[in-house]
Amino acid sequence: MTEGGPVGESAFFELTRVGPGTVMGEFMRQYWIPAGLSSELEPDGDPMRLALLGEKLIAFRDSGGRIGVMDQRCPHRCASLFLGRNEDDGIRCVYHGWKFSADGTCVDMPNVPNQENFRDKIRAKAYPVQERAGLFWVYMGPRETPPPLPQLEVAMVPEGETIIEPVLRDCNWLQALEGDIDTSHFGFLHVGHVQPEDLTTDNPLYHTVTNRAPAYHTTTTDWGASYAAFRDGGPDTTYWRFANFMFPFWTQQPQGTFNTHVHARAWVPLDDHHTMFMNVMWTGMTEGVEPTMADGSPIEGLQLRNDYVERSTDWFGRWRVRHNESDDWGIDRQAQREGRIFTGIADIHLQDQAVTESMGPVTDFDFEHLTVSDQMIATTRRRLLDAARDFRDNGTPPPGVDRPEIFREARSGFFLAPDEIDWRDAYQAQTQVMERPGNPLPAS
Ligand code: FES
Ligand SMILES: [Fe+2]
The residue among 110, 64, 56, 57 whose CA lies nearest residue 87 is: 64
Amino acid letter, residue 135: L
pLDDT of residue 443: 45
* Ligand positioned closest to the Cα atom of 98: 1
Cα of 137 vs centre of ligand 2, distance in Å, is: 26
pLDDT of residue 2: 40
Among the atoms of ligand 1, which is closest to the Cα of residue 77? 1
pLDDT along the chain (444 residues), means of 10: 58 96 98 98 98 98 98 98 98 98 97 88 97 98 98 94 97 98 94 94 86 91 96 89 97 93 97 98 77 90 92 98 98 97 96 98 95 96 97 97 96 93 94 79 47
pLDDT of residue 3: 45
Cα of 362 vs centre of ligand 2, distance in Å, is: 19
Among the atoms of ligand 1, which is closest to the Cα of residue 81? 2
Q: From atom 1 of ligand 1, which residue's Cα is the shortest distance away?
A: 77
Q: From atom 4 of ligand 1, which residue's Cα is the shortest distance away?
A: 96
* Ligand positioned closest to the Cα atom of 80: 1
pLDDT of residue 204: 80
Cα of 99 vs centre of ligand 1, distance in Å, is: 9
**Residues 216/229, Cβ–Cβ less than 8 Å:** yes
Classify residue 44 as left (phi > 0), alpha (psi -120 to 50) or beta.
left
* Ligand positioned closest to the Cα atom of 187: 2
Torsion angle of alpha carbons 344, 300, 207, 165, nearest 10°? -90
Task: Report the pocket of ligand 1 as residue ranges, CB < 6 Å.
Answer: 74, 76-77, 79, 93, 95-98
- Residues lining ion ligand 2 (Cβ < 5 A) are 352
Is pTM beyond 0.85 here? Answer: yes
pLDDT of residue 5: 61
**Residues 284/180, Cβ–Cβ less than 8 Å:** no
